[in-house]
Amino acid sequence: MSRKVWCGIFASALIAGGCGGKSGDGSLAKTTGGDAIRTASGQAVTREAHDKWTVGVELFQRYEREGWNDRRCGEAEKKFEDAISAQGGAFTEAIYMVGLVKSRCGDARGARRAYNRALESNQSFCKARVAVGLLDLESGNSSAARSAFQRSIRDDPQCTSGYVNMAIMQREAGGAQEKEALRNLRRALAIESDYLPAFNQMALLYYNRGLVSDNKASLDLAEVVCRQAQLIDRTYAPIYNTWGLVKIRKGDVIEALRYFERAIKLDANMYEAQMNFGQITLSFRGYEDARKAFVRASELKNGSYEAVIGLGAALRGLERFPEAKTQYERAMELDRRRPEAYFNLGLLFQDYMGGTVGDLQKAKRFYEQFLSRAGGGKQFSDAVKSVRARCQNQSSRRRGKKRRRRRSDCRPGRIQNIDTAIAAIREGEAMQREAERMQREAGQQK
């Protein structure tokens, strides 16, 4: 699920005002009512700057729908830089948009520089302050992110995205902070009653309560919030992803799948929805649909360990075993400390490759590496048991005699099955060699 909420980018981006504006100056941009349009720093916007801003916004919106590439990144950025130049260098909103374009195009450092430029123009500019906080969050500096969100609210009490991002951090912290998270979401909605990110985060908050306490009432509340958001805007993709999570928790997997699919149709760039759709279709053995979802998720978040593992599982289900192996090896390269790739490679070599002694030995080594990394974590306890379990003959005395018996409730683990299989293969090979020797000797006697 998404952890960050971007501000509303265009709503009230430029404001009408009459603070010293030269209403008779034809070179200034005007509202339909004849008022001068002003930047967040209070400057009246020239007609030329406003025209270039409008072109830049249209390009940004188009590329958000169609996808970004190097050419489009440069084109959109230039339009906003042209607007800044036409405004004499002090155009807070356009500077912020330069940062947003750079962020979309993977240039986090450039984005931060642009956001800071916007803040130099106006220290209270909510969008730029929140954007800096989001960059801090992505880089792992949660303390700086929290400070940025707090300051965005302090500098601008109408900063809805500041309240919502602060609420996300509080919700994830849990405990007493969860109550304050709910208050911040309500504050955001009090300011902007149809602010959909606040609805989505409120639904996630109730969903999380339902996860922790298995509380049906909380899950019902989450659904109520999802319905409210849907009534406001039926095309808001994140709410369908959240709704799908609630449906899974309620045991309605088919309905959850429908919601995740709806989220993807509305926004194919939504990583969380692609992952959730992939996981469910994988569980239904819809391997091709799962493969497409995990491929897209991998493209959206390059370096996502979970997406790569999911893609490997889908390819394994499609019997594209060499490609599955490549994905698991890729996951190992992404993070050699995590155990999942080693388990899946063990599974692949044990159950799906050639079945030779060499394959089984590789599988055993991968399982041993999995065990060394999984440790005693609850998350992997079932997988650890399935690998490590060993069944032994137990002795019991009855009427003074020893009797061997195997526990009927014991299922050998994967490593024991490998050892048994290797022993059987080698025994069979030895028997074959012995048969061939006897055949040769019989032929020589003739």
- Domains annotated on the chain, with CATH: 1-122 (1.25.40.10)
Burial class from Cβ neighbours inside 10 Å (0-12, 13-18, 19+) for residue 94 reads buried
Dist. CA 161–CA 149, nearest whole Å: 8
For each of the chain's 446 residues, which pLDDT tens digit applies? 445 554 444 434 454 433 333 333 458 888 888 888 888 888 899 999 999 999 999 999 999 888 889 999 999 999 999 999 999 998 999 999 999 999 999 999 999 999 999 999 999 999 999 999 999 999 999 999 999 999 999 999 999 999 999 999 999 998 889 999 999 999 999 999 999 999 999 999 999 999 887 788 999 999 999 999 999 999 999 999 999 999 999 999 999 999 999 999 999 989 999 999 999 999 999 999 999 999 999 999 988 999 999 999 999 999 999 999 999 999 999 999 999 999 999 999 999 998 899 999 999 999 999 999 998 778 899 999 999 999 985 444 444 444 455 455 788 999 999 999 999 998 887 888 878 778 877 777 66
Residue 314 in contact with residue 282, Cβ under 8 Å?
yes
Tell me what pLDDT residue 21 has.
34
Three-state SS across 124-170?
CCHHHHHHHHHHHHHCCCHHHHHHHHHHHHHHCCCCHHHHHHHHHHH
Concatenated DSSP letters of 13-65: SSEEE-SS--TT-TTB-B-TTSPEEE-TTSPBPBHHHHHHHHHHHHHHHHHHH
**At CA 21, angle to CA 16 and CA 24, rounded to 5?**
105
Tell me what pLDDT residue 29 has.
83
Model-wide pTM > 0.85: no
In sequence order, the 6+-apart residues with CB closer than 8 A to the CB of 342 are: 332, 366, 367, 369, 370, 373
Tell me what pLDDT residue 249 has.
94
Nearest one of 196, 256, 255, 250 to 226, comparing CA atoms: 196
Tell me what pLDDT residue 70 has.
94
Dist. CA 236–CA 234, nearest whole Å: 6
